[in-house]
Structure formats: C-alpha cells, structure tokens
Amino acid sequence: MKNIKIIDEFNINGKRVFLRLDLNVPLTDERVVADDTRIRASLPTIRYALKQNAAVMICSHLGRPVEGVYDEKYSLHPVRNYLESNLGRNIKLINDWAEDEVSVNAGELVVLENARFNRGEASDDPVVAETIARQFDVYINDAFATAHRKEMTVHQLPLKSVKKGCGFLFKKEVESLSKIFGDTNDQTLAIIGGAKVSTKLNLLSVLLEKVSCIIAGGGLANTFLKAGGYRIGKSFYEKAYIDSAKKIIEMAESNDTKLILPNDVRVSTDPKYESNSRIVELDQIGADDMILDFGPKTMNIISKEISSANKILWNGPLGVFEKDEFSYGTKCLAELVREASGYTVAGGGDTIAAINKFIDIGALNYVSTGGGAFLEFFEKKGNIPAIKALQSECAI
C-alpha cells in the first residue's frame, strides 16, 4: 500500500501500541458475543503485537451510544471476556482513558472502553486526539470497516500520531479490493443490488468507467426498470431518482458498458404470503404485483456473464432472499459466483448473509469485513478518511 507502513515494519518491542480495531459485534440478550467474525479477523494483528512484547491498548466502538455518555448496554465488557477466553490471559477493561494515563506494561494487553463513550469521538475532535496521542508510541489501524468514517480514533488520532500504520487485516482488505480495479478492467463484472439507487449513485458512476458489465438487482433494479418505461406494479422504487437512473443508463450506453436488468421476475401481490407468487415477463407485471426476485431466463444471462468474467465485485442481493419463495435469484447468483473462474470479491451485510445462507464463504477469493467502507473504497477510488490519515504527515 502506497505510503502506509504495516505493523511488522515497526520495532514495537516494549513500545506502547494503540490498536484501533473494529470489534463492533452483535451480542446475545445475555450479553455474550453472538458473531465473532470481526474479532477473529483482528486476532493475527493482536497476537503479533503481543509476541513482539508491545504494551497493547485495544480501542474499538460498539453500537451507537450517545457521545460522551457511558451506557452499560454498549460496554465492551463482553468483547473483553471473549478475548480473555481466546487469548488465555487476564485483560483489564479501562474506563476514562481519553484523559488519564493508561497503565499497561510490555507484553500486556488492555481493552479501552467504547471509544464512543468519549466526547470528541463522533465529532472528530483534534484537541482530544492530540491529548490521546501522547499516551502511545505507535498507532495501528486494523479497523477497515470504519475506514470511511471521520471519527476521532480513526481520522484525527492518526493525523496527530508521529508513527502510524495499519494491521494485517487492513492491509489485506485494501490489497484485495484494489485488485478489482487493476491494470486492466476487460471482463470485469459488478453485481450491485440492494434497495435504493440513491445510496449507490456515486458507486455506479465510478463503476461505469471501470467495469465492462453491471448487473443491477433488488429495489435498485426496479428504479432502473421504471426509468426504462416498464410498468412495475406496486414494486418499491425511488421516484425522485428516476432521472438519475436514466442518466446512468445513458452513461452505460456511451461507455459501452453492459447494464443488465431482469427480463423475467418473480412477483407477488403480497410478500408476506408466498403461495401466490409467480414468474412473469416484464410486460406481464400486474398493477398490484411487486417484483421480489429474478427469474430463470435472467439468471441464464447472468450465468454467461459470470462465467466469462475475470474479476467479479458483488454487493447486494437480487431479491428478498430471506424468504425461500423469493430466494432463487440470489441463491443461483451465489452458486454461480462460487463456481466462477475469475477473481471474486464481496462485501456488505446482506451480501455476506446471503453467502452464508447458500454457499461456503471460503469459496470466494475475498469477503470484506466492511459495509460502508467497502462501498466508499470503490466510490472514492481508495481515497477514504482512514487511508488518507495513515498516508499523511503528523499534524502536530
């Protein structure tokens, strides 16, 4: 990665190391870690720092508490317990660490309480960042999933840090995603689903210049169909973005980029009742119908595109895959991506949920831990706040 050091490029023996991780994990009602995916992804960096005899301070956020207010519901206590069990050591959970000196010895690990309990975190306060920066020798960001946010421990803190770099997960994320926009973009395919065009306009505009084919799915596809003059019944679409969708269609044509929309769909008059659904051509959609999935003719077209693609980017399901009756398109897509010969990258919460439901997640070349960061990385061509902060000179 250009102008960003990796943790193993520093001498951290006996040094105080601030590890900004993303341990924002779901918890059970009993306040036990329900899904440890993000924690496990950060363990290599944690273990490396401990093996190098560093004094390790782990920092993360959890949930969305009111800034500056302690709330037990968002405490990192369950995460600390998980790390104690996994690493086989006692770990202190430190409150009020933004102003007070943190006590941590070489070879020791402490967890700093939820960063969002501190005033200045959400507001990206440079003064608070400068105070915290005096407490450590090396700043390491291994929280790619938060890399798109201008929050103090992600943005201002590295700006105020003399020695800074990233962890192994952050490095792997950036390098894996960067492969999609490599030296050549011939036969690069992007699958973009989800509910809204509005949240992905910038992404689509960038992709039109970078890929040879875009497959639009979900509610996003409905807006494009409406923009193309098709009747879509009572299907969800964004009326305010019809003109934007038309511009995307025009850009695709002028850039000679394929924009694939469904030509047969599964519809229902009520998504809560799965017995009355049926597959229809676009000109057969009724006034009370809602488009809830792709049909087999469309999936045959998509199959050919995936089999010929040398790079595949996937973000968003094709339909309401949570319901079995409307899962065909997304299930078929997951299986096609699994068998693809090209380099495959996926990201986003719904996408990962679909992958876990239908195929082995290990079948893809890379699945990102980021949602918003995953999208913004492509939208802004890698120029997101955490990356720029790590590349910058110290601002003190």
Contact 247/233 with Cβ under 8 angstroms? no
Read out DSSP for 103-139?
---TT-EEEE--GGGSTTTTTT-HHHHHHHHTT-SEE
Catalytic residue of the set 14, 182, 286, 349: 349
Amino acid at 396: I
Catalytic residue of the set 218, 295, 347, 372: 372
Catalytic residue of the set 15, 20, 38, 116: 38
Torsion sign across C-alpha atoms 210, 216, 222, 228: positive
Catalytic residue of the set 16, 119, 163, 196: 196
Active site residue 381: no
State how far the Cα of 371 lies from the Cα of 9, in Å rounded to an integer.
Answer: 28
Q: Which residues have C-beta within 8 Å of that of residue 264, sequence separation ≥ 6?
A: 279, 280, 281, 282, 294, 295, 296, 297, 298
Q: How far is CA 268 from the centre of its chain?
A: 31
Active site residue 68: no
Q: CA gyration radius for the chain?
A: 23
Q: How many residues comprise the chain?
A: 396
State how far the Cα of 54 lies from the Cα of 60, in Å rounded to an integer.
Answer: 18
Active site residue 272: no
Exposure string over 284-304, b if 16+ CB within 10 A, otherwise e: ebeeebbbbbbbeebbebbbe
Q: How far is CA 339 from the centre of its chain?
A: 23
The pairing of beta strand 109-112 with beta strand 55-59: parallel
As separate numbers, helices (DSSP H) first and strands (DSSP E) second, the chain gives 13, 16
Torsion sign across C-alpha atoms 341, 345, 349, 350: negative
State how far the Cα of 322 lies from the Cα of 19, in Å rounded to an integer.
Answer: 36
State how far the Cα of 378 lies from the Cα of 384, in Å rounded to an integer.
Answer: 9
Q: How far is CA 383 from the centre of its chain?
A: 15
Active site residue 38: yes
Closest listed residue to residue 365, CA positions, set 345, 340, 336, 342: 345
Give the residue numbers annotated as catalytic, written as ranges. Answer: 38, 196, 349, 372
